[in-house]
Structure 1
Amino acid sequence: MTSGLPSRWPVLAAYALVAAATQLLWLNYAGVSTAAAEHYGVSETAIGWLAQVFPLLYVVLAVPAGLVLDRWFRAGLAAGAALTAAGAVLRLAGDDFAWALAGQTLIAVAQPLVLNAIIGVTGRYLAEPDRPAGIAVGTASTFAGMVVAFVLAAVFPAAGDLTVVTGVGAAFAVVAAAVLIIVLRGPMLYPHAAPPAGFGALRLAWGDGFVRRLCLLVFLPFGTFIALTTFAQPLLEPAGVSGSTASVLLLVNVVAGVAGCAIVPVFAVRRRRELTMLVVGVTVAAAGCVVLAAAPGAVSGLAVLLLIGFLLLPTLPIVLELTERRTGEVQGTAAGLIWLSGNLGGLIIATVVGLLVDHPVAGFLVMGAVALIAAPLVRLLRPYLSASGSNVTLQR
């Protein structure tokens, strides 16, 4: 802890477990799609919907979930944790695709209530000097959940192992939800003023130019990351990169992202270099995509995905930290807008890159161009920052 003010770190730790669980459950089937298709007797395209339902529902539910969290924070977050656990258990109710899809849908409904709450947790339970580190840890936990999903897929790759994979995910989610619900019963150290009634919180959040610019900025790098992780394997395959090698590269990418999210945002805030690190992240991503277009291969893929993971993924916690400093009583709604923009960017940019999957050079160059566009957009944030680097308070 960096000050004499109290911080309830156990709440953040419990939240991190639930946030990790949402991402583990999201990708539970992604790494074993062929085995899952064999197990359930459906196509791999159908298995893909077990993951695709998450960004689709996030786009629809991000803002409503934010409104709920702003008005009933503890109840909303507890409900998100409980629904996540319930959906994980529901997948085990029957050994067929319908039960798996029902469970994944319920978890996808709960996900916005969990992920939108990250800056609400830090703002309500951590002292102000500790909040950047709290946001960094909370965001890193989401990528850590992805790592666990990839590891499970590697350890239990066969169709007969699918029940073990889903069972581990369910057990993790149930324990995480129980721990979070218990710790949320303690005092809220830094309560926030009630937001405006109805859609007033949405009008207040979206009415701020800083929040709108953050949404525009997040759309591009988040979309680039989702497109890259979705299509890296088929885009690198013509260069002789096998599916198993591509899986290792993506695992390295996410592990580097966990480390980057835990380190880079804290460094950026302490040195007042938030905007600088945002530019570095998107520029490295753009350059990396150009490298993969010009010289695709396992070695170049390893170097590029490692750097992109470490420097691009931390743009999300940096943006969330800037949002926490600015938005006050509408933090949940503002976070919902940020996450909505990122997921929408992922859907749109990944769709475009998917159309170019048979043209790897063009696919990588499109992702590079999208990331590079974000660099000058960072300048749009500068007028909203004071000389000290702190944001002015959002005004009604």
Structure 2
Amino acid sequence: MAAYELQDGGRQAGRSIPLDREERSRWSVIVAYGLLAAATQTLLVNYAAVTHDAAHHFGVSISAIGWLAEIFVLVYVILAIPAGLVLDRYFRPGLIAGAALTAGGAFLRLGGDSYSWALIGQVVAAVGQPFVLNGITGLVVVYLVKKDRTTGIAAASAATFFGMVVGFAAGAALPGAHNVRTLTLVTALIALAAAAYLIVALAMVRPLATSMEEMPTTGGLRSFRAAWGNPHLRRLCVVVVIPMGTFIALTTYAQPLLEPAGVSEATAGIILALTTIAGVIGCAVVPVWAEKRDRELNVIAVGITVTAIACLVLAVIPGVATGYLMMLAIGMALLPALPIVLALTERHAPDAEGTAAGLIWLAGNLGGVVVTTIVGILVHHSATAFIVLAGVTALVLPALRWYGRLEQRQP
């Protein structure tokens, strides 16, 4: 009976697994990972839904509360590549470290009822985020058979965005400055439960024996060179920059951009929640459909076109009704681009999954910084801001064709 010996540090070394039977995907690990990925985003928006209440509770400015979310983006930009290198060399230990940092940071915020403790805890949780999010492509390789990997990436991506919905819902359920500490405790318990579940799942569920042959055996600069030296990955980074940047900018400034058209803060909150839910549904369904029909690039192109048109509509006829319709269309059409790109990354960068995923997320976050900054400058000129967003978003189409030409040359 043939057997494959697992050898990686942290990948159940020494266990022999028979290969003469067909293996099945380990979906329980993907579920556990999805819950933890969702928890990272719940912590990211923890105080966003109660910005004014949190500012009053901690006795700080609105801008200071904003930093409790912005710190996640800043830390990710710094640690995206280092975290990917660690995951490529020590996959399971790196993922466990991310889970521990996420839960530890969430509870560290309860060390004292002050802004300083909240900021310190958010920083620690933010350090854990890249170790969690960068693990998505490596995880599907280790625990899913090939035919299920696109579905796994789509489900995990949908769960990640659903974490934002949970964060907003928790804030809406616990309004008022007197409930800020309770809200912090609730989200900390969510993070702890998700982290514990993933750690137990990684310990109890064995990886697929055959898939271990596809995982990188070295990390460090070799993994980075393998990832960045891949022309598919470099072009995918260019493709993903603007879609993620556009979505981050819209979720950040939707309310002030629509306010002149009579959209209240409460209404804008509902619009953003529904937009995210639409994106979750799109992420769960659209990438799988596209992969089965070999239409990934077409779907991204449609999403870009829909988003550009929606921004133009909001520039010309802004209002409550168009706000709902156009933002829902953007969520459903644009967000699936991320899991599609991650699935293409897993397909084309098999020698450095963690580093490759880190580069994709890094490109998206950098796009968020750039596009959000542009929109922030134009925030008091709503029509101009939406027109600029439409034009910037449309720039992805030439980049998509540029990537498509490389796909056509692929044997």
TM-score norm. by structure 2 comes to 0.92
Which stretches in structure 2 are left out of the alignment for 5+ residues? 1-20
Aligned-partner SS, 2:207: coil
Match status 1:95 vs 2:117: no
Match status 1:309 vs 2:351: no
Structure 1 position 93, deviation (Å) = 1.1
Number of paired residues? 387
Match of 1:74 in 2: 92
| 1:258-314 Cα shifts (integer Å, max 9, x gaps) | 000000000000011000001001111111100000011110010011111111000
After TM superposition, where is structure 1 displaced by more than 3 Å over at least 4 residues in a row? 192-197
Match status 1:187 vs 2:206: yes
Write the distance in 1 (CA, Å) between the matches of 2:397 and 2:326.
Answer: 18
TM-score norm. by structure 1 comes to 0.96
Write the distance in 1 (CA, Å) between the matches of 2:251 and 2:292.
Answer: 30
| Contact 2:86 2:219 (C-alpha < 8 Å) held by counterparts | no
Distance 1:43 1:134, change over 3 A: same
Q: Identity across aligned pairs (percent)? A: 52
Distance 1:355 1:9, change over 3 A: same
Aligned-partner SS, 2:220: coil
| Contact 1:195 1:330 (C-alpha < 8 Å) held by counterparts | no
| Contact 2:89 2:220 (C-alpha < 8 Å) held by counterparts | no
Distance 1:379 1:4, change over 3 A: farther
Match of 2:192 in 1: 174
From 143, 149, 169, the equivalent of 1:151 is 169
From 287, 306, 310, the equivalent of 2:309 is 287
CA RMSD of aligned residues (A): 1.3
Distance 1:193 1:117, change over 3 A: closer
Pairing 1:276-355 to 2, within 5 Å after superposition? 276-355=298-377
Aligned-partner SS, 2:111: coil
Distance 1:137 1:117, change over 3 A: same
Match of 1:30 in 2: 48
From 224, 227, 238, the equivalent of 1:216 is 238
| 1:319-375 Cα shifts (integer Å, max 9, x gaps) | 000001111120100000000000000011101100111100111111111111101
Instruction: Give 1:245's aligned amino acid.
Output: T
Pairing 1:124-273 to 2, within 5 Å after superposition? 124-185=142-203, 186-189=205-208, 190-191=211-212, 192-273=214-295
Write the distance in 2 (CA, Å) between the matches of 1:160 and 1:118.
Answer: 37
In terms of Rg, which structure is larger? 2
Match of 1:48 in 2: 66
Distance 1:371 1:253, change over 3 A: same
Instruction: Give 2:353's aligned amino acid.
Output: Q
| 1:7-63 Cα shifts (integer Å, max 9, x gaps) | 000000000010000000000001101000000000011000000001111111100
**The 10-residue stretch of structure 1 (109-118 or 370-379) with the greater mean CA deviation from structure 2:** 370-379
Which stretches in structure 1 are left out of the alignment for 5+ residues? none
Instruction: Give 2:67's aligned amino acid.
Output: W
**The 10-residue stretch of structure 1 (157-166 or 256-265) with the greater mean CA deviation from structure 2:** 157-166
Structure 1 position 383, deviation (Å) = 3.1
Distance 1:210 1:249, change over 3 A: same
Match of 1:7 in 2: 25
